[in-house]
Structure 1
Amino acid sequence: MLIACGVWAHGGPQCREGGCKLEFGAKSARAAGAYDPDVPYSTLRTPHFLVMYAEGYGRIALRAAEIGEASWSYLAARYAWTPNGRINIIINDQTDSANGSATILPSKTITLFVTAPTRVSGLEDYDDWLSAVLIHELAHIYHLDMAYGLPWLGRQLLGKYVAMNQYVPAWLTEGLAVYEETVSTGGGRGRSAYVDMVLRTAALNDVFPSIDQGYRGYPNWPFSNIAYFFGGRFQLYLAGRFGEDALLEYHRKYAANPIPYITYLPSKLVFQESMPSLWSAFEDDEKAKAEAMLLQIRTSTSLPLTTPKRITFHGGECVGPRVTPDGRSIVFSASSPVDGARVRRIDIDGSGEEILLDDTLSLGVSFTSDGRAFYLQQAEINQRYYAHNNLYRFDLERKSLEAVSVDPLEVSDWVASSGSLRAREPDVSPDGRRLVFVQSPFGANRLVLAWVESDGRTIHPRVIVPAEPDVQLSNPRFSPDGTAIAVARFRAGRRDIVVYDLTGAITYEVTRDRSQDTDPTWSPDGRWIVFSSDRSGIYNLYAFDTHDQTMRQLTNLITGAFQPSITPDAQTIIYRGYGPDGFDVYSVPFAPADAPRVPYTKAPLTSTVDTTPRRWPPPNEGAPEIPPPAPFRTDLAADDLPEGWSTSSYSALDTILPFNDNWNLFPALIANEHEIYGSLSHFGADAMGTQSYALNVNYGTLTEAFGGSASYAYDGLEPTIVVSGTSQAVTFSRRVVVEQSGTMPCAYGGSGSLQSDGSALCYGPDQGQYDQRRNTARISLGLPFRQRHRISLGYAFERRSSLDALPPDTIERLLPRSGNFARITLGYTYADTRSFPYSISAERGPSFGIALEALSKGLGSDYEAFVLTSEGRYYLSMPWRGFLLSNHVLALRLGIGFTLGPDLAETFRLGGATGRSAVTTTTDDFYPLRGLETSALDGTAVIAGSAEYRAPLIRIDRGLWTMPVTFQVLHAAVFVDSGRVFDALSWEKLRRGFQDEWAVGVGGELRADFIFFYELPLTLRVGYARAVRTPASMPATSQRNGFYFELGTLY
């Protein structure tokens, strides 16, 4: 990954044949559905790559292939590793975020998001975006794919699972890729002043992260970027201290080590020190550099060290502060690990903060001239496949949000196929009649000026600055007189401030050099253009005098300043400032006329990319050259291709078939509510995820039975089609009962009882266990829609029979039904829950699932029945905040399942504490109830409910050096579980159920969340439960009062 982002999950129940349960892991092939099936894709085939691209992106694909081929032998020589087969590259423009990803499972595949970064986030320092992201992701491919010695032998059997560099901390994998993007280009995060700021501030404030905190999902600032920022700089430190050959030799030694997760041995062999010891030395080195920088700032500049006023105290990610037209308050966005992203308003003195919008993080806002509304951007999920930006108008008086729309006659010219404008960073003209924004078609940027109708929502846009290849625009701002627009423009390796008139002609260039100049704004009188720049090595605020063309330095910080906004009285600058816990809103006086002048020189114009490095280290000799920019929205012709290169329509067969450098075989131990079973799994998928398959064979230790599954999913259409077959053993807490004539003892082992007629009932000897074999074939259609909904339709044929041979006189009516079960299923799920970095579970919102099934002899079934299964959950975040009070949750769950019709053929099971996790699962007809034995009750209908109050106790978020375990948080829950089963559903039994057949369990649990093996989240639960009410017909032995230990969660 180029950027690691915490996922704030939206989860809910998945309805399948037999029930609705929350799925923690796919049991069958399920196509990813990442790409719009209505968009045709092509493949460019080169000697070492397959590049997949949509219509209109052919030239970008060709340029990516040229960069890849130029990098292939260069990286092979550096890593002493030659990948087998071809590497897949997918050109993706379905998001307006700058990112990339790489994997070697099941095949070597890189995804490149063509949208380039424009905001300062660490990614802004690049020569050429496509080159930077591709070098980073190719470094992952070479690094992850390496295998030597015994691991190489293991790969011949288990395939790509035996790639030891997959089993390392994120600060190693991402750190090496950041190192490569730095030494193989003139930019990169290894040279970024933003990254300098993060490390320097941490070092000076004694919050430098330890080596065990560089994992994906770290919930505190700077979140997962510890792996990228600190991990990348750590590897630069190692290369500077020991030499690059030693650094790369370490990674080769790790790839040859047959014992995963152990950094000690290769580190001692290469560096003669352990990694934790080296990290401590790296921290000392960063502290020394930070202290030297602080001394330099204090002593060598004419401007004293700036001491700003802090207005907000959120920390983390805080963006886009803008002063209201009346100068009384500030609107900004903040993303808190406690409660997520929100747009907020605060008085300019820091009092009176209020929340305006939930679940929204906008890079900035722009007010109407009367201050009653503001415009903002927001990413929205469209048509399941796209995450594009749109513009919105928020009315401050009505607290209402409305999307900005284009006149219906102009929609085809301005609205993307996703349904969004793909627009960002709107700014309103002083007269309120016009709106300027940046639009991003085909990964390019163009500046758009739009007339706004009186409703404030409908616009009539026109392009004033057309898109150019590899030119990015950001943060347009109207001048106070409305005649000019200041913009940050990236072109040919330089990010500068440029001023346009309203026709799109350049009035003048404020800067032209390799400094990162961004976030322009105007003083109220129009004389000064204030912007952020790293020209001193630190992001400070500068003012450009439009009268005499001179530059003044306004701040002299040890941290950084971004996104300035000047108060209407021209006395104060409000800005996005950095501190040891992240970003907040700060202010400093605005007195540009008194600020010291800064000499600066404009660099000569250039038609080629400026790759001059501004900071250490120098680029490696032999690094790939950057090819010329690629025209966008153009496709390839045969004469565009070098000899031996070719194009064709995309085919999944190019990448899905096994033994095409994509073999894998995964052994595992998994547990369900009854047993542990071993399994071997293999899966495959094409590069774009349109088709996938999965194969599995397993053996249960309690049932002593083999099982398995095979599935295939096709996502080249809507809906997704899944075909599967399974064979599994299901255990019931039933004893086989045999009727025999004569007296005791029973001929069929176990215990028995004499009946009044002299016969005997003999109970099987298997501790109340009846095992049933279920062989199932299934086809289903699934269609997600409107982001949170999914419907499914399927047909399944299932053969059920006793796993073991039954005696001839078995009373089968006392056992779960056997025979043929053929059914059609209609399912629906809805999920709109939220969780945040500090959440201990889903924290806000509902989820719901329902499945309706019809069994019919006309479908091949032995039974006629109607089956309904459903489950609803609701999570309510408690309002209190403070020490030990934040992120408390009331979680509610209700499940209902029943069978109606002439044959009550389906059986539901109730009782137990088994949860679901990455290594545990439960069968679909199982409903937990703590305080009872597992599956203590079963029947043809079930009602089961639960209420839990969940509270975090202490956050740890630490590991043990580089060992593969991280202790995240300790939390607790108190619960009430209740439910009952019915042998046949009726109103009378429902009424009686609340009187004498209801089971209720109460108790509490202490839970600990861990991450094992750097990637595997797991919850451990120690609980105490007591059944305070049980059905009259249930034997006392079916209670399970006392302590228990389980993995995973119930819901």
Structure 2
Amino acid sequence: MGTSGHGYPGLGALAGRPGWRWLLAALLAMALTAGAAPAGAAGSRWLTLSTPRVRIHFRPGYEVAAIEAARAAEATLDAMADRLGHAPRDPVHVTLMDVTDLSNGFTDVSYYNRIVIYPAFPVGLGYSTGLSPRMRDWLELVVTHEVVHAVHLDMAEGPARGMRQIFGHVPRFATPNLFQPMAFIEGLATFEETQLVEGGRGEDPLYDMFLRAAVLESALPDIDRALGLYDLGHFQPGAHVYLYGYTWFALVADRYGEQGIRDLQKRFAAVSGLTMPGEVVRRVLGQELESLWREMRQELERHYQDEIATIRAAGETEPTLVEAAARSGAWVAVSPRLSPDGRLLAYAASGPYVEDVRLVDLDTGRDRQLALGLVTAPGGLDWSRDGRYVIYAAADEVEGRVYSDLYQVEVATGRVQRLTHGRRAYAPATGPGGLVAYAARDGLTTRVVVRDPTGAERVLWEPPQGWQLLSLAWSPQGDRLALAVWKPGGGSDLLVLWLSSSPSPRDPAAGPGVAVSRVQPVTDDPFVDDRPSWSPDGRHLLFHSDRDGVYNLYAIDPASGETWRLTNVVTGAFDPVMAPDGQSVFFSWFWAHGYRIARLDASALRWEAVQRPRAPAPDAAWTPEPKDAAAPAVDSLPASWRIGPYTPFESLRPTYWEPLIGERWPGPFLGAATGGLDAVGERAYALAGAVGLATGAPLLYAGYARLLGDGRGPVLTLETSVTPKVHASSPTGAQPGDPYDEVAAVAADLRWQRGGFGGGWQASVGAVRSWIREASSGEPWAQSGRETRLVAGWLGYRQGGEHRWASVRQWSLQGETVLEAADPVDPLAASALVAGWGYVRQRIDGTSFEVRLAAGVGGRQLLPPGGGESGPFAVRAYDSGIFSADAVAVGLSAERAWRLADFRFGLGDAPTFFDDLGLALFTEAAAGWDRADPSRPPGAHLALEPSPGSPALGAGAEVRLRLSLDYGRVGLVVRLGLAQGFAPEPETRWYLRLEAR
């Protein structure tokens, strides 16, 4: 990159311009020294563990996790070289980015094989994803899954291999497996994850539950619905492309062996995206894809119908749905908790529109939103002992990180108060005297923290290294705290912390006066025992477990170890809580299309004795030992492994080039482009150069972006370009051979952004310097026309919602100010400020009502689009030139929409899916005012006059077809509309628009 800039015609002259030399110097210097780390590793913001085939990038303090990730990645590369017959030529880059409590990972093969892992242990995500504490190790599982992606998507055979040899790692065209259906991509990774890692999703009881429920409710999807990431209009447990993709590959392995999967992937890696997957399957396996899919469904039905019959033969538990909660429209309703008087039920809800804490009045049957928030993961909630508050955990952005924190909402008023900031807190449990215990993350470790009403906190208990806290429950008597913990090796167990008072009158800063006097193990087995809650008398712990292969509710007496199964459901039962009067139990009940809050009378509980999980715990204090105490040692790495400061050069170097061919004015052009992104995602660049074949006109571009502030601060963007432009003397357009201008520009932009669940803001400041000259004049750039602009802009937004009808109220405020240094102008003309407010009421059945109001001042952003286009000042019945407000504009629109057909179908294995057909009626109005005297002196009285063509008023109707392309990667809306304009003059217009969604 350092030599590319000097090769661009004209940029040398730009570099010599006084006042702008620093900008080009900064562009080149930042490209050459991007992120240079200090000489010593101790001072580095990022470190890199290098192995023969992997680069693990991590923050200081994550050395052990980096070694574990490297071991998992190297082992997976070894396994996949045999299983798929392919090994990436270049190193695989893996970045451990502990910036969110929403555990995940992704693989990007756009420039090279880059993986990003969010390593926080998953808590609460299993309800939707199938990730459960059964897994042997989360980091091992997610690294394995993503490295399988990297190997699979790196495969290139036949023409694709030739393409890569010529053009390098050009996105898409040199990675043909990216054209596969999403179910094949994610299904293969999930299948291999299950083969390579103990506790992979394919063998988890959650996946069994998802499939069993689908068979029970005849919800197994046809192939056209399952191949892509499609909006199917209802809850999709496990994400259907993972769940059914895994199931399909399990069938292929059973029928054709693992060689069949290998041959299939080799063939896919040699074809283009124009080849249908069914054709590849037919050629390789000798059977039609749809036929194999039907056979898979039939085998699932036979297997799970037998399971269902066996469960029912033992006497099926039949709970009662809490109808008020069922009517809320929540797809996932979990964590039910009862108020101390037993009259109110709070729960966490997730639906297609918003997430919230909801409240059911069990006497009246009324269900309402209590607080808006991302509460289902990692989540957890509890009532204060006086019944005034619900304390809950919700994820939101904190300094650029998505962390979970504690909040409390006053039930009577709905007033929300934030209790913690950036503590990565979850699983709150309330105790006596206003105490609140919760789990807190510190990097990749967790610990129990207790908080008193004054906000004072102290660490109550730290589990052994590697253990992860899942959930907490404080006993009614206040003397015990029950915990569910995951242990390395897989499975989760219950513990009880016995508490004692520890007043510290001489040290108020010591925090809440409670301490752990004894740790009592309650269960110790390979099963999942989670979400404990106490019976009202404090004798029993209720919890859910998969110990019989199906998630059911259990009870245990911690004192004796006696254990009972309480339910025998066909699908799954979770999160039990007993009513204060002991007459009923509430829990979350799974069905194919979601989790529902259910109730079971105490008389219907089975109390069926089962084998004790372990012998009763001794009275003496117990010190737990981790199952796998052998943590990797940083000072005993293999000889070929080393840890050093991170440098971005290896991942930033160009890995591809792609030709640029076009027909834009001033004639056909030919060139090339490349780009790059570093492994930690803090630096990116793009380079492009072309020349007009008829004119020799250069088209040049260089851009560089840098995320500042240790990954939390603003983004700095630097750009330079040289482009041809239609000559000013040819306003109607020019033909090749006509005179044209050349425009050279240098720009810098600094952009800050913050966002959270309820709203956020963005601000920017930038500068642009441009030069323009007639190309044939030979005029030096130094003597050409030039312009300097300083630009400042900002955008803020806030929204709220109500879950049952998905009502959303939102407002936004955005502005831009342009100060032209060469010639001071009216600030009103050089600025724009737009404020907007909107309200949308979207029913589950597809009916919606929407109203939006916008107002703006200034001239640069107030051009109302038309001709079917939408926008804050749009009137779709007219062209955009109907008026152009350069001072003030207002816009108002209202719309009512209906779903005409909810067909949701695809075209077999084609990458096209139709998921909705709707009708919308709308009315729009816009008005604008111009400055009566644009040449008035600064400070003079501002006079306005209506813009020509203002006001504009129209109404119309649209038929809208929603569809997905490329197996769900691209969402589109086709809008066919008829609009009638009423003012400034009658006009009728038909239009057809295609827009992304």
Give runs of aligned pairs for residues 248-327 of structure 1, distance below 5 A: 248-260=262-274, 262-299=276-313, 301=314, 303-311=315-323, 312-313=325-326, 314-327=329-342
Question: How far did residue 715 of structure 1 move?
Answer: 1.3
Give yes or no for contact 2:498–2:520 (8 Å, CA) kept in 1. Answer: no
CA distance 1:943–1:478, shift in 2 (3 Å)? closer
Distance in 2 separating the partners of 1:864 and 1:873: 23
Distance in 1 separating the partners of 2:681 and 2:733: 49
Give yes or no for contact 1:512–1:603 (8 Å, CA) kept in 2. Answer: no
Match for 2:256 among 238, 242, 246?
242
Match for 1:646 among 642, 647, 652?
642
- Amino acid aligned to 1:947: S
Question: Aligned to 1:432, what secondary structure does the other structure show?
Answer: helix
Question: How far did residue 145 of structure 1 move?
Answer: 0.8
CA distance 1:192–1:223, shift in 2 (3 Å)? closer
Match for 2:971 among 1012, 1017, 1025?
1017
Distance in 2 separating the partners of 1:627 and 1:462: 23
Question: How far did residue 834 of structure 1 move?
Answer: 7.4
CA distance 1:1006–1:368, shift in 2 (3 Å)? same
CA distance 1:960–1:39, shift in 2 (3 Å)? farther
Distance in 2 separating the partners of 1:951 and 1:731: 44
Question: How far did residue 868 of structure 1 move?
Answer: 3.1
RMSD: 4.3
Asked whether 1:868 is paired with 2:827, we answer: no
Give yes or no for contact 2:567–2:605 (8 Å, CA) kept in 1. Answer: no
CA distance 1:869–1:174, shift in 2 (3 Å)? farther
Distance in 1 separating the partners of 2:729 and 2:433: 79
Question: Aligned to 1:872, what secondary structure does the other structure show?
Answer: strand
- Amino acid aligned to 1:490: W
Give yes or no for contact 1:212–1:962 (8 Å, CA) kept in 2. Answer: yes
Give runs of aligned pairs for residues 326-365 of structure 1, distance below 5 A: 326-337=341-352, 339-348=353-362, 351-362=365-376, 363-365=379-381
Match of 1:391 in 2: 406
Question: How far did residue 350 of structure 1 move?
Answer: 7.4
Distance in 1 separating the partners of 2:301 and 2:70: 42
- Amino acid aligned to 1:494: G
Q: Deviations over 1:604-661 (max 9, x none)?
A: 9999998xxxxxxxxxxxxxxx994458xxxx5xx333213222222221211113xx
Match for 1:658 among 654, 658, 670?
654
Distance in 2 separating the partners of 1:669 and 1:209: 43
- Amino acid aligned to 1:565: V
Distance in 2 separating the partners of 1:946 and 1:377: 38
Match of 1:26 in 2: none
Distance in 1 separating the partners of 2:657 and 2:308: 52
Asked whether 1:481 is paired with 2:429, we answer: no
Match of 1:974 in 2: 922
Question: Aligned to 2:235, what secondary structure does the other structure show?
Answer: coil
Give yes or no for contact 2:722–2:742 (8 Å, CA) kept in 1. Answer: yes
Give yes or no for contact 2:577–2:585 (8 Å, CA) kept in 1. Answer: yes
CA distance 1:477–1:712, shift in 2 (3 Å)? same
Distance in 1 separating the partners of 2:109 and 2:242: 20
Question: Aligned to 2:86, what secondary structure does the other structure show?
Answer: coil
Match of 1:414 in 2: none
Asked whether 1:370 is paired with 2:365, we answer: no
Question: Aligned to 2:139, what secondary structure does the other structure show?
Answer: helix
Distance in 2 separating the partners of 1:945 and 1:193: 54
Given the two structures, how large is their TM-score scaled by the length of structure 1?
0.78
How many matched pairs?
Answer: 904
Match of 2:768 in 1: 796
Give runs of aligned pairs for residues 595-634 of structure 1, distance below 5 A: 595-600=607-612, 602=614, 628-629=630-631
Match of 1:758 in 2: none
Give runs of aligned pairs for residues 116-195 of structure 1, distance below 5 A: 116-119=121-124, 120-121=126-127, 122-124=130-132, 125-158=134-167, 159-161=169-171, 162-195=174-207
Match for 1:497 among 494, 497, 521?
494
CA distance 1:786–1:100, shift in 2 (3 Å)? closer
CA distance 1:220–1:959, shift in 2 (3 Å)? same
Give runs of aligned pairs for residues 540-689 of structure 1, distance below 5 A: 540-546=552-558, 548-591=560-603, 595-600=607-612, 602=614, 628-629=630-631, 636=634, 639-659=635-655, 663=656, 665=658, 682-689=674-681
CA distance 1:1000–1:568, shift in 2 (3 Å)? closer
Give runs of aligned pairs for residues 875-886 of structure 1, distance below 5 A: 876-879=838-841, 881=843, 883-886=845-848
Stretches of structure 1 lacking an aligned partner (at least 5 in a row): 1-28, 406-418, 611-625, 738-762, 806-817, 900-906, 917-921, 1032-1038
Give runs of aligned pairs for residues 437-516 of structure 1, distance below 5 A: 437-450=438-451, 452-453=452-453, 458-464=455-461, 466-492=462-488, 493-502=490-499, 503-504=515-516, 507-516=519-528
Match of 1:826 in 2: 792
- Amino acid aligned to 1:898: G
- Amino acid aligned to 2:971: P
Question: How far did residue 687 of structure 1 move?
Answer: 0.8
Question: Aligned to 1:440, what secondary structure does the other structure show?
Answer: strand
Q: Deviations over 1:141-171 (max 9, x none)?
A: 0111111001111223443422111112221
Match of 1:428 in 2: 430
Question: Aligned to 2:72, what secondary structure does the other structure show?
Answer: helix
Match of 1:225 in 2: 239
Asked whether 1:1028 is paired with 2:974, we answer: no
Question: How far did residue 1029 of structure 1 move?
Answer: 3.2
Question: Aligned to 2:859, what secondary structure does the other structure show?
Answer: strand
Give runs of aligned pairs for residues 698-737 of structure 1, distance below 5 A: 707=699, 709-717=701-709, 718-727=713-722
Distance in 2 separating the partners of 1:843 and 1:593: 41
Distance in 2 separating the partners of 1:676 and 1:1027: 41
CA distance 1:56–1:602, shift in 2 (3 Å)? same
Question: How far did residue 724 of structure 1 move?
Answer: 1.0
CA distance 1:724–1:364, shift in 2 (3 Å)? same
Question: How far did residue 1041 of structure 1 move?
Answer: 4.2
Give yes or no for contact 2:561–2:614 (8 Å, CA) kept in 1. Answer: no
Question: How far did residue 723 of structure 1 move?
Answer: 0.8
Asked whether 1:112 is paired with 2:117, we answer: yes
CA distance 1:233–1:837, shift in 2 (3 Å)? farther
Distance in 2 separating the partners of 1:727 and 1:851: 25
Mean CA deviation greater in 556-565 or 233-242: 233-242
Question: How far did residue 382 of structure 1 move?
Answer: 1.0
Match for 1:216 among 229, 239, 244?
229
Distance in 2 separating the partners of 1:908 and 1:678: 37
Question: How far did residue 1002 of structure 1 move?
Answer: 4.1
CA distance 1:774–1:477, shift in 2 (3 Å)? same
Give runs of aligned pairs for residues 55-74 of structure 1, distance below 5 A: 55-74=60-79
Give yes or no for contact 1:112–1:134 (8 Å, CA) kept in 2. Answer: yes
- Amino acid aligned to 1:342: D
Give yes or no for contact 2:560–2:616 (8 Å, CA) kept in 1. Answer: no
Give runs of aligned pairs for residues 859-938 of structure 1, distance below 5 A: 866=827, 867-870=829-832, 872=834, 874=836, 876-879=838-841, 881=843, 883-886=845-848, 888-894=849-855, 896-898=857-859, 912-913=866-867, 930-933=876-879, 935=881
Q: Deviations over 1:987-1031 (max 9, x none)?
A: 999754168655545433323232211211222222223443349
CA distance 1:932–1:725, shift in 2 (3 Å)? farther
Distance in 1 separating the partners of 2:864 and 2:258: 60
In percent, how many aligned pairs have the same letter? 24
Mean CA deviation greater in 311-320 or 585-594: 585-594
Give yes or no for contact 1:940–1:984 (8 Å, CA) kept in 2. Answer: no
Question: Aligned to 1:256, what secondary structure does the other structure show?
Answer: coil
Q: Deviations over 1:524-564 (max 9, x none)?
A: 11222111111111100111134542211110000101110
Give runs of aligned pairs for residues 13-52 of structure 1, distance below 5 A: 40-52=45-57
Mean CA deviation greater in 237-246 or 550-559: 237-246
Give yes or no for contact 1:855–1:865 (8 Å, CA) kept in 2. Answer: no
- Amino acid aligned to 1:1016: V
Question: Aligned to 2:192, what secondary structure does the other structure show?
Answer: helix
Match of 1:964 in 2: 911
Q: Which has the higher contact order (CA 8 A, sep 6+)?
A: 1
